[in-house]
Amino acid sequence: MYRGILLKISLLLSFSLNLFSVEFKVASYNVENLFDLKYDGTEYKEFIPNTKYWNKKIYSKKLHNISKTIKHLNTDIIALQEIESQTAFDDLNKKLPSFRYSAFLKKMTSSIGVGIFSKYPIIDQKRIIVNKKDNYARDILKVTINIENKPVIIYINHWRSKRAKESYRIIYATALKNSIDKLHKDTDYLIVGDLNSNYDEYLTFKYDKKLNNTYDITGINQVLNTTLKGNFITKNNIQQSYKKVHYNLWLELKEKDRFSSKFRNNNNTPDHIIVSRGLFDNKNISYMDKSFKVFKPLYLYKNNKIKRWNNHKQTGYSDHLPIYASFTTSTKYVKKIKEIKPKNINSISHLYTIDTLNKNILLKDVIVIYKDNKISIIKEKNGRAILIYGNSNRLYLGCLYDIEVEQIDKYFGLKEIKSIANITNKKNLNIDIKKLYLDAKKIDIFDLKYQNEILKNLKGKYKKGYLHLNNKTKNHKIKLYFKKGIMKPNENSIITINQGHLNQYKSQIQIVIYKNSDFK
């Protein structure tokens, strides 16, 4: 009898706790240079107040556009970057009366600062000094927000741009890490803002000599521990590490959707919502699985272009898109994360789902379908293809092998094998290799699932480095990259590609031509 009463009380208590739980949305938005109309000497030259292209009328239009975006975003908390002053921050807040609480931070010698609007009480705010010796360093704002008597800490960042080397961003990451290290390991906190770093920075910046002055170490990945030993922290393993590690919510999206800004038409992820392990322990506040999104209505993003602000035309919004994610004080709607084990890890398809290897992977029955100098392209029968860079002297065209993969990499977006071992030559197939090439007329060559395949039957007009296609798709041209020593075709000539490597460079799909015989 008593056991039944206790069970009823327990169920009633559980129901009551969930009844009073809340869900809330957190967003981050770089609003692109919101300057006020008071001259203080730190303005960028195009925002000197009361001039032809920055005056009361233009300022009002900018405020209207940014406030419109934030209203439509319908968020409970929003972190903001690139706001000049408390005045500009307050003028924006006046257009957003639903946010009763706010905090703003700017270094006097800096041109722009960071801030946050909240519908929940901000119960504490602190300045994290990034670099006392650098007048232009933008300090980090740390706020604690009370969500129904449950605190969550939010760090609002705007790190140094990529005009500077990675060592500058490591200074920001280190200052942030020093603050985080003082927190209890189960504290609920978020790292948000414009970090001027891609989520996979450690894979991309190492090839850029202008940026890489830190021996392949990045602030976002190795200092903040969004990766460990070359592997991303995931929802499945975030609770297992003895270190303070973080999960980057960009990993929630498909790779093609991972962008909040564009540079030279390449996708970039400078803006982040990075979460702590405490947000996965089903206590106090929890992240709502797969709620991370990029906000891109047509007025912000159309035809693969972000509608950035233009002073001269007085149109547009920002060169960044807002990002957001949802959280809850209830455990009722939080998915239990189950580790999904891949069906076949010994496959080329599996290599495309991971970024690094914990152990060697054995690929069986792969065929070498293309070779040139330092590269070989291998393919599984009825499966995918992948490039091997270097280390392939023992591989011969048309032969079948078992190959042990030691190391993989992503070279400016293209997945490749960097190191192989234990090659077993099974036999020479004596087949027409071209039967394993993909017919360009029968596939969407702009679909990333076909990267590293060898294409045939692709015809078009060559003009200014592109092959202009005669098709009905929205993509009517594709970049052609000719390896050194290849004689390029004449402008406006009609060419046919007999065998071209479908490649990816940053966010652009291209075809690489290695030999003069690859096209006619």
* pLDDT above 50 for 12: no
Please compute the mean of the pLDDT values over residues 81-98 and round it to a whole number.
98
Any idea what DSSP says for residue 448? G
Examine the pLDDT at 16 and tell me if it is beyond 50.
Answer: no
Q: Which residues in 476-485 are b (16+ Cβ under 10 Å) and which e? A: eebebbbeee
Q: Which residue has the tokens 């400016």?
A: 412
DSSP-assigned letter for residue 252: G
Measure the CA dihedral 436/441/447/453, to 10°. Answer: 20
Any idea of the CA torsion for 28, 34, 38, 42, to the nearest 10 degrees?
80
Question: What Å distances lie between residue 350 and 104, 213, 249, 386, CA to CA?
Answer: 46, 32, 21, 11
Cβ burial, residue 87 (10 Å; 0-12/13-18/19+) = middle
The pLDDT confidence band at residue 11, using thresholds 50, 70 and 90, is very low
3-state secondary structure 319-384: CCCCEEEEEECCCCCCCCCCCCCCCCCCCHHHHCCCCCCCCCEEEEEEEEEEEECCEEEEEECCCC
Residue 255 CA to residue 417 CA, distance in Å, equals 19
Q: How many helices (H) and strands (E) does the chain have?
A: 6, 32
- The pLDDT confidence band at residue 90, using thresholds 50, 70 and 90, is very high
For 336-390, the pLDDT digits (tens) are: 666 566 678 899 999 998 888 888 999 999 999 999 989 999 999 899 999 999 8
pLDDT for the residue 9: 45
Is the pLDDT score of 251 beyond 90? yes
Which among 295, 284, 302 has a CA at the least distance from the CA of 25?
295
Euclidean distance between CA atoms 466 and 473, whole angstroms: 16
Q: Evaluate if residue 248 carries a pLDDT over 90.
A: yes
pLDDT of 184 > 50? The answer is yes
Which residue from 199, 78, 47 is spatially nearest to 145, judged by alpha carbons? Answer: 78
User: What contacts 344, CB < 8 A, 6 or more positions away?
Assistant: 350
Of 110-114, 149-153, 216-220, 239-243, where does mean pLDDT reach its minimum? Answer: 239-243
Domains and CATH numbers, the chain: 20-328 (3.60.10.10), 348-434 (2.40.50.200), 437-518 (2.40.50)
Paired strand residues for 124: 144
Structure tokens at 329: 């004080």
pLDDT at 473: 55
What CA–CA distance (Å, rounded) separates 278 from 299? Answer: 36
Question: Whole-number mean pLDDT of the chain?
Answer: 92
The distance in angstroms from the start CA to the end CA of the chain is 88
pLDDT at 339: 58
* Matching residue, tokens 């920002």: 318
Q: What is the DSSP string of 392-429?
A: -TT--TTEEEEEEEEEEEEETTEEEEEEEEEEEEEEE-
With beta carbons less than 8 A apart as the criterion, state whether 360 and 368 touch: no
Q: pLDDT tens, 270-312? A: 999 999 999 999 999 999 999 999 999 999 999 999 999 999 9
Task: For 17-40, write each residue's pLDDT tens digit.
Answer: 455 789 999 999 999 999 999 999
What is residue 472's predicted lDDT score, i.e. its pLDDT? 55
